[in-house]
Amino acid sequence: MENYLEFINRPQEGRTFRAALFDFDGTLSLIREGWQEVMVPYFVEVLSAAPGAAGETQAELTAIVREFVDRLTGKQTIFQCMALDDAVAERGGSRCDPMIYKDEYLRRLYLRINDRLEGLRSGKITPEALLVRGTEEFLQKLCDMGIALYLASGTDQPAVREEAKLLGVDRFFGEHIYGALDEHATACTKELVIRRILSETGLTGEELLSFGDGYVEIELVAGLGGYAVAVATDEKTRAGVDPWKRERLIAAGASAVVPDFSESDRLADLIRNRED
């Protein structure tokens, strides 16, 4: 695959990476594939009921919702719910506890993905069917190389940990699996994890890699001088690059783009600075 690994910026010669931060949903896991198809219509439904939305078309409201949903992807779900509350208030609607929006969104989401979860629990669905291609092989290579692995997600922590276990990838991260917690509802999980990595290990930003499909983790790691790899998986087909993901992740600061982890040897060479 000639175009498997696309460089925006190559790593500097002699650069050493010691830790890697992974996003979960859409980067490793496909359990929640299609979550936007649940969130966006629900949010548009809520926004349409605001008094000031009467003069806006469904297409206009959908564009407004998509903008903040996409921009906040990678942060905890509550941030998108807070943005919805602001959009409702701007149109003369009553303020609402964003947790109410989050709870209803999750109720609708689980209607979509519950069969996947039950299939994994019962063994009717294999983990490989709901993992991004090459995930296990690549994570094992990183472990063999001595790279410390961290997983951070905007999904609630108990759910992330259960889903990582169902997919069999929890063993690669140990206790370093982090998700959204109520006590940190308004703090970005990924920013907190990055701070922890740097403070506890003494690493510099330049020694940090990240792999993700969300704007947030790419921007955060790139801003620290880390090397951010966009995993622009087409989640529906599990093959090739999603052009929309690619474009927005490059704009966020990604230094390289891959469709998945199927060519783990080439990715390992990238980390060793041996990619031709």
Report the Cα 114 to chain-centroid distance in Å. 20
Of residues 214 and 2, which shows the higher confidence score? 214
CB-based contacts of 43, cutoff 8 Å, min separation 6? 65, 69, 80, 84, 101, 105
The two counts, helices (H) then strands (E), for the chain are: 11, 7
Residue type, 86: D
Give the lowest-confidence range in 141-155, 171-185, 214-228, 254-268: 171-185
Query: Checking phi first, is residue 246 left (phi over 0); if not, alpha (psi -120 to 50) or beta?
Result: alpha
The pLDDT value recorded for residue 32 is 97
Per domain, the residue ranges of the chain are 6-30+131-271, 35-122
CB 219 within 8 A of CB 247: no
CB 81 within 8 A of CB 105: yes
Length of the chain as a residue count: 276
- In this structure, whether the domain defined by 6-30+131-271 belongs to CATH 3.40.50.1000 is answered with yes
Q: Kindly tell me if the per-residue pLDDT of 195 is higher than 90.
A: no
* φ, ψ (nearest 5 deg) of residue 25: -70, 125
User: What predicted TM-score, i.e. pTM, was given to this entire model?
Assistant: 0.90
Please count the other Cβ atoms lying within 10 Å of the Cβ belonging to residue 73.
25
The pLDDT value recorded for residue 12 is 87
What's 143's DSSP letter? H
What percentage of the chain exceeds 70 in pLDDT? 95
> What band does 162 get if pLDDT is binned at 50, 70 and 90?
very high
Comparing CA positions, the residue from 155, 128, 158 lying closest to residue 214 is 155
Averaged pLDDT for residues 231-245: 92
